[in-house]
Amino acid sequence: MNFSEINPAARMLMCPGPVESDPRVLRAMSAPILGQFDPQFLGYMAETQEMARKVFQTSNKQTYCVDTTSRGGLETVLTGAICPGDKVLIPAFGRFGYLLSEILERCGAEITLLEREWGTVFEPEEIEAELKKGGYKAVACIHGETSTSMMQPMEELGKICKKYDALLIVDTVATLGGVDIRVDEWGIDGCIAGTQKCISAPSGSALITYNDKIHEIVLARKKVEKGIRIDSDVDGDLPQIPSNYLDLAQLEDYWGPRHLNHHTESTSMQYAVHEALRCIMQEGLQERFDRHSLNDKALCAGLQAMGLEIFGDIKNKMPVVTAINIPEGIDGPTLRGQLLNDFGIEVATSFGPLDGKIIRIGNMGYCSQKRNILILLSALEAVLVHNKVKINVSDGVEAALEVYQNAK
């Protein structure tokens, strides 16, 4: 009987998630459990909703958490808003675009996939040209495509969707809390985020928000389950949502004033999300975006000064993820292995066509700190020098420091 005590090695998680949680969040999770309908717990849930609205920059009443990781939140909103047979356009510019189609195919949607070379984003005209053909119920799109580090501009897309009366459902799993996202102003109808990236809580909860257009669809698909339904409960006209656990209609009743029993809310993750959002409120949204942006600028300046090449269309790069082409003279597993095992720093590989070609560096949430950027650049330099890769020694950290000095 030799099972280990939880005692994680020291790690700096400079990958695109999961990243380190704010220590205040970790501390909040060790608070004792409250009953799921204890008035104090319901109070925390209501505050979480209010703070999440501020972070999504929305007034959507339907703003709450799903007790899954981000992927489950995506499926919940997509399969709640999209009925079998609905036509959905998915502009895919990386792995997670394909995930959206993978989820929607299973629920019987008719998918049209627009594809783009990994490392680029779509021009609004490309998407409009397809929507013009007519009949689309929705566009589903990734905001920050972590697999390629690209970020699709959203403002124009919202206008186009409105013009063609298509819902816009956006995955902001990798960007919410690190990048300015304006759900209402940009015309996003449904939006999903995770907690383990720029929100800086552990993985295990998904933040979602959607407007009345989607809410009306959900109501028309609602069916209160046997064992708790009452006489006044009437079934809707549209096909029932395929999953019981990921059923937006039931989740609305759980989070809404009726507090109708569904799952048992994950108490400690709820504490974590509440505290993580509170940390964001304390910092201020703009201050938080500026912090991520400055650290990104320093990181990129450092990498380029070192002589490394940043992958993809830099103009549309996410400020919270940077990918570099793996330089000649070293391979990905060696680079990542030495950073992890010698320096305790985690960076990531990518998927599919980019696996082994790029290294992805995160700059997310609590990990987006000046000291982390400088330590990462120093360690990266050391690993490359140790492997006799040709770089401009000392220039990386120096360039980053200069960015910080000029920012004062």
Out of 49, 58, 63, 67, name the contact with its own copies by CB under 8 A.
Answer: 67
Binding part of the chain for its own copies, among 130-138, 266-274, 312-320, 400-408 by CB under 8 A, reads 266-274
β-bridge pairing 150-151 and 167-171:
unpaired
Residue 36: strand, helix, or coil: coil
- Integer Cα distance of 205 and 281 in angstroms: 19
List, as one string, the DSSP characters of 130-146.
HHTT----EEEEESEET
Nearest to 145 by CA among 116, 174, 166, 124: 174
Binding of its own copies by 38 (CB under 8 A): yes
Nearer to its own copies, 161 or 279 (CB): 279
Q: Which residue has the tokens 């995930």?
A: 99
Per CB under 8 A, contacts with its own copies among 227-246 are 227-228, 240-246
Assign residue 324 a region (left: φ > 0; alpha: ψ between -120 and 50; beta: otherwise).
Answer: beta
- The nearest distance, CB 104 to its own copies, in angstroms, is 9
Binding of its own copies by 29 (CB under 8 A): yes
Out of 189, 252, 253, 346, name the contact with its own copies by CB under 8 A.
Answer: 346
Per CB under 8 A, contacts with its own copies among 351-380 are 351-352
Dihedral sign of CA atoms 45, 50, 53, 58 in order:
positive
Out of 49, 175, 267, 363, name the contact with its own copies by CB under 8 A.
Answer: 267
Binding part of the chain for its own copies, among 98-106, 298-306, 309-317, 323-331 by CB under 8 A, reads 98-106
Q: What's the gap between Cα 117 and its chain centre? A: 21
Binding of its own copies by 77 (CB under 8 A): no
Per CB under 8 A, contacts with its own copies among 78-97 are 94-96
DSSP 354: G
CA dist 354 to 24, 45, 95, 403, Å?
36, 40, 10, 30
Binding part of the chain for its own copies, among 62-70, 134-142, 210-218, 315-323 by CB under 8 A, reads 62-70
Binding of its own copies by 189 (CB under 8 A): no
- The nearest distance, CB 265 to its own copies, in angstroms, is 7
Out of 85, 106, 212, 406, name the contact with its own copies by CB under 8 A.
Answer: 106
Binding of its own copies by 159 (CB under 8 A): no
- Integer Cα distance of 213 and 190 in angstroms: 9
Binding part of the chain for its own copies, among 69-77, 134-142, 311-319, 380-388 by CB under 8 A, reads 69-77
Q: Around Cβ 177, how many Cβ atoms within 10 Å?
A: 30
Binding of its own copies by 203 (CB under 8 A): yes
DSSP 197: S
Out of 72, 91, 144, 302, name the contact with its own copies by CB under 8 A.
Answer: 72
- The nearest distance, CB 274 to its own copies, in angstroms, is 6
List, as one string, the DSSP characters of 71-132.
HHHHHHHHHHH--TT-EEEEEE-SHHHHHHHHHHHHTT-EEEEEE--BTB---HHHHHHHHT
Contact between residue 373 and residue 294 where contact means Cβ atoms under 8 Å apart: no
Binding of its own copies by 30 (CB under 8 A): yes
Binding of its own copies by 112 (CB under 8 A): no
- The nearest distance, CB 75 to its own copies, in angstroms, is 5
- Integer Cα distance of 129 and 191 in angstroms: 24
Task: Look up residue 164 and give its two tokens.
Answer: 């063609």
Per CB under 8 A, contacts with its own copies among 381-400 are none
- The nearest distance, CB 267 to its own copies, in angstroms, is 5
- The nearest distance, CB 347 to its own copies, in angstroms, is 10
Out of 42, 61, 87, 98, name the contact with its own copies by CB under 8 A.
Answer: 98
Residues 7-26: x/- map of binding to its own copies (CB under 8 A)? xxxxx-x-x-xxxxx----x
Per CB under 8 A, contacts with its own copies among 282-341 are 282, 340
